[in-house]
Amino acid sequence: MKDSLLTGTRIRPAPENHLGEDVIQEARRRFMGGALMAGAAAMAAPAVAASAESLDIPEWTRQLGPGVGTHPYGMPSRYEANVQRRESPGLTRTKQSSVSFTPLQSLFGIVTPSGLHFERYHAGLPDIDPAEHRLAIHGLVEQPRLYTMDDLLRLPSESRFHFVECGANTAMEWGNSAVPTVQYTHGMLSCSEYTGVPLKLLLEESGYDRKLGKYLLAEGSDGAALTRTIGIDAALDDAMVVYAQNGEMLRPEQGYPLRLLVPGVQGISQVKWLRRLEVGDMPWNTREESLQYADFMPDGRYRQYTWIQEAKSVITTPSGGQVIMDKGYHQITGLAWSGRGRITRVDVSTDGGRNWREATLQAPVMSKCLTRFRCDWNWDGGPALLQSRAIDETGYVQPQMKQLREVRGTRSIYHNNAIQTWKVAEDGVVTNVQVS
């Protein structure tokens, strides 16, 4: 019989926010209850020898299924019902000012299905009639303008793939709280193909003041009327006023019918339900950029307007909450991204950062976009510490948690881009740990 890669690894995803006791017990039975000796059959190649005769005709092949038109807008299989956005109980006081996380452990490639894009609201989800929605551009401009959606839809457009990451993603890891799954450690991260109008074009249409107009204020039309200051350089670079996401109009949770997109910048600055852009000569210092989204430093001061999401990566399989059922071949895979441009390399370690191997990057690698990386691994059944480390086109190397803490201390909430560690125990259970 020909040698096969299939000599035994199986991953059981545990997408809930704690490990089911039944899953742990099954793993323990296999590994610690003598299964290694007694259960030779269980360790055999799971891709069993087959012949055409051994392949039973399944029930569904004997049936005539429903026809077209049953699902004018389709949904995932009922067998995938546990792949969903999840809240973190107790994280916030109200659901209207809260977050739900993308199930990164169940996803493939780089596109986040729009139905699973993470949510972050400051005053709940508005239900906006696009025929009534307006975008105003005013302030230090020659000609203030008020755009309908029809106006914007006929202007020159662009489509690009970009990630959106909340500045508070991975915030809980500043302490040693070790939330259980990658959905909660890194799930305020999603990636879409966005289509919209270059912001540069709209600013030029308004005749913005090229001498004094150094900043923009972006305002959302949600109940929070959320506001953020945007530097004019970013606005004139690759920023867009976006109306479409993954081929269709924006989803309500992501700003329908219009949002700002400033690629590479923290999520809160990608102002959703965008209604107003004001050109000004200094930062506005609004609530969400002074009291919130500032980095508290060890010396008691804080950094304001630190908005670029630095290079970061995370292994999504195997990851916390999953259980590796057998030794042998396993593909390690995850995501890497940088707010400063393209990812140029990702390294993977299985021994907590002592040794590193270069992972394969899936092409095309796009700027300020998620990059899928993959690395072969043969698990020998011993304990392992899995890490990934991203390097971007500026040469920046994703730091270990220890390095980040040396600069930033432990009082930060935002902008944690440290290397994530997943511990694989001898019983195959994968957990979130911090290594010193």
Binding residues for its own copies restricted to 178-197, rule: CB under 8 A: 193-195
Judged by beta carbon, residue 77 or residue 436, the one nearer its own copies is 77
Angstrom distance (rounded) from CA 238 to CA 364: 19
Residue number with CB closer to its own copies (231 or 252):
252
| Per-position b or e across 297-312, b if 16+ CB within 10 A of its CB | eeeeeeeebebbbbbb
**Phi and psi dihedrals of 114, rounded to 5?**
-60, -30
Q: Using CA atoms, how far apart are residues 204 and 392, in angstroms rounded to an integer?
A: 32
One-letter identity of residue 362: Q
Contacts of 380 (CB under 8 A, 6+ apart): 327
Task: Identify each DSSP E strand in 204-354 by its residue range.
Answer: 215-220, 227-231, 240-245, 248-249, 259-261, 274-280, 295-296, 302-303, 312-317, 323-324, 328-337, 343-349
Q: Which stretch binds its own copies (CB under 8 A): 19-27, 98-106, 162-170, 291-299?
A: 98-106
**Candidate ranges 40-48, 288-296, 380-388, 420-428; the one touching its own copies (CB under 8 A):** 40-48
Out of 24, 123, 385, 413, the residue judged to bind its own copies by CB under 8 A:
123
Nearest of 157, 122, 190, 432 to residue 335 by alpha carbon: 190
The two tokens of residue 253 are: 């949770």
Position among 15, 113, 283, 409 found at the interface with its own copies (CB under 8 A):
113
Given the complex with its own copies, which of 37 and 60 has the nearer CB atom?
A: 60
In the set 43, 209, 308, 329, which binds its own copies (CB under 8 A)? 329
Paired with 274 in beta bridges are 220
> Of 126 and 231, which CB lies nearer to its own copies in the complex structure?
126
The yes or no reply on residue 378 touching its own copies (CB under 8 A) is no
User: Letter for the amino acid at 158?
Assistant: E
With CB under 8 A as the contact rule, the residue among 23, 31, 86, 368 that binds its own copies is 86
**Close Cβ partners of 62 (under 8 Å, ≥ 6 residues apart):** none
Closest to its own copies by CB, 49 or 282: 49
Residues 302-321 that bind its own copies (CB under 8 A): none
Query: Are 216 and 232 in contact, with CB atoms under 8 Å apart?
Result: yes
Question: Cβ distance 257 to 215 under 8 Å?
Answer: no
Number of residues that bind its own copies (CB under 8 A): 133
Segment interacting with its own copies (CB under 8 A) among 15-23, 148-156, 295-303, 406-414:
148-156
Q: Which two tokens stand for residue 410?
A: 């432990």
Looking at the Cβ atoms of 252 and 409, the one nearer to its own copies is: 252
Runs of H (alpha helix) within 283-334: 287-290
Q: Which of 142, 175, 299, 354 binds its own copies (CB under 8 A)?
A: 142
Which of 25, 143, 176, 394 contacts its own copies by CB under 8 A? 143
- Closest by CA position to 108, among listed 321, 265, 331: 331
Secondary structure of residue 154 in the 3-state scheme: coil
Spatial separation of the C-alpha atoms in residues 312 and 319, rounded to whole Å = 16
The two structure tokens encoding residue 269: 């600055």
Q: Does 223 bind its own copies (CB under 8 A)?
A: yes
Does the footprint of its own copies cover residue 74 (CB under 8 A)? yes
Nearest approach, Cβ of residue 361 and its own copies (Å): 11
Range 262-281, binding its own copies (CB under 8 A): 273, 275-276, 278
Asked if 145 is part of the footprint of its own copies (rule: CB under 8 A), the reply reads: yes
Binding range to its own copies, per CB under 8 A, among 132-140, 284-292, 337-345, 385-393 = 132-140
Specify the residue, 314 or 418, whose C-beta has the smaller distance to its own copies: 314
Out of 26, 205, 237, 393, name the contact with its own copies by CB under 8 A: 205
* Among the listed residues 33, 247, 298, 383, the single contact to its own copies using CB under 8 A: 247
In the list 127, 211, 282, 291, the residue contacting its own copies (rule: CB under 8 A) is: 127
Question: What is the Cα–Cα distance from 318 to 300, expressed in whole angstroms?
Answer: 38
Pick between residue 33 and residue 109 the one whose CB is nearest to its own copies. Answer: 109
Total residues belonging to the chain = 436
- Tell me if 373 sits within 8 A of 313, measured CB to CB: yes
* Among the residue ranges 106-114, 297-305, 393-401, 412-420, the one whose residues contact its own copies (CB under 8 A): 106-114
| Minimal distance, residue 316 CB to its own copies, in Å | 11
CB of 158 to its own copies, least distance (A): 7
User: Closest CB to its own copies among 5 and 385?
Assistant: 5
Q: In the numeric block, which tokens belong to residue 99?
A: 């977050």
Evaluate whether 151 touches 217 at the Cβ level (below 8 Å): no
C-beta closer to its own copies: residue 298 or 364: 364
